[in-house]
Amino acid sequence: MILVLIPVKPNMSPVLSELSKKLSDRLQCDAIEVVRDARGPGDAGITNLEDRVRHTAKIRQSIVEDYLQPHYTHVLWIDADIIDYSLTLISSIYRTSIEYNAIVAPMVLLDGQDRFYDIAGFIKNWKWTNINYPYCMEPGRRFINMDSVGCFYIVPAFVYRGGAKHLYNPAHPTDHMGVCQFGKCLGCRVLCDTKLIVRHAVLSDYGESLH
């Protein structure tokens, strides 16, 4: 069973929040449980990437500790500002996670654009992903081995049960890196499926600050 965790900024644009909720409401079924959690103070006082990662790492870690129960086999993180993804995509990354014993993410592109969004979360060869095509892709390969992924990704639950943590890492300011690297220590791969795409909101369209 998949536990879907969606951290929601308390002061998020109501329009964006409602759009996110409509998408996640489609997922709830016998095999998937969706949790939308708006804990925390929002992004007041956050001025840079490091501030944001310190903030989100604590929130993600507390959420997974509160909701991960023994019957869940996988945890799927979906950022609340992801505004387009399909049910079949989730089924696909779930199957890939099982087949390859992997943490798996699709490509994350900006809505209506060909620009990659989470360049600091998707790290390959210890470098950020390129914002422009070919991003982190390798010609002829569907699954790309990564050091870290972010924004929208599925994690085998045993990675968290084994001790993975969302932590701030000054060398790589993304709270996803620690989980991905811990998963690798447990024998998991970290994969980006370049055939699958989800869309991230253009934040300025909703009156949100860029991050």
List, in sequence order, the alpha helices (H) in the chain.
Answer: 14-25, 49-67, 87-100, 157-161, 177-185
- Domain holding 56, by residue range, is 2-206
Q: pLDDT per residue over 86-126, tens digit each?
A: 999 999 999 999 999 999 999 999 999 999 999 999 999 99
Give the span between the Cα atoms of 155 and 199, in whole angstroms: 20
Q: Is pLDDT at 208 greater than 80 in this prediction? A: no
56 secondary structure, DSSP code: H
In a domain, 95, yes or no: yes
Residue of 67, 9, 71 lying closest to 34 (CA atoms)? 67
**Which CATH number characterizes residue 45's domain?**
3.90.550.10
pLDDT tens digits for range 39-65: 987 776 666 667 777 788 999 999 999
Within-domain flag for 133: yes
Residue 211 forms part of a structural domain: no
Within 8 A by CB and 6+ apart from 193, the residues are 92, 93, 96, 104, 105, 106, 107, 142, 143
* pLDDT confidence tier of residue 139, bands split at 50, 70 and 90: confident
* pLDDT at residue 196, as a whole number: 98
Number of domains in the chain: 1
Give the pLDDT mean for 132-152.
94
Q: Exposed, middle or buried, 38 (CB in 10 Å: 0-12/13-18/19+)? A: middle
pTM: 0.94
